[in-house]
Amino acid sequence: MLPEEPAPVRGALAGIVSAFGTLIVLGVLQGVVNSLEAIFDGALNDVVSEFIIAFAVIALWGSLFSAILIAPLGVIGGYGYERYLAQR
């Protein structure tokens, strides 16, 4: 539920969570695509490993290397949006 009053600090935290959540969702989606490719290629033994590798590369390594960029952008976006709502 949304609070009655805008809170910029909560907006900043929500911005960080949504930035890293996006990487997790993209990792899952790419893992599903890679698993489907393995199924259609007939390599049923590689389905789970394709999913794990794709998820690890995107979600884990992506978070590690892009955290220095997406964390501040998430904070600025979330804080700015909530501050804009508070000033209206």
- pLDDT tens column, 35-72: 999 888 888 888 899 899 999 998 888 888 998 999 99
pTM above 0.85, yes or no: no
Name the CA dihedral angle for 5, 7, 10, 14, rounded to a multiple of 10 degrees. 80
Map tokens 């501040």 to a residue: 72
Name the CA dihedral angle for 26, 29, 34, 37, rounded to a multiple of 10 degrees. -140
Query: What local confidence, expressed as pLDDT, does residue 3 receive?
Result: 62
Give the C-alpha separation, 50 to 33, whole Å.
Answer: 9
Query: What local confidence, expressed as pLDDT, does residue 80 receive?
Result: 94
Sorted by sequence, the CB contacts under 8 Å of residue 73 that are 6+ apart come out as: 15, 19
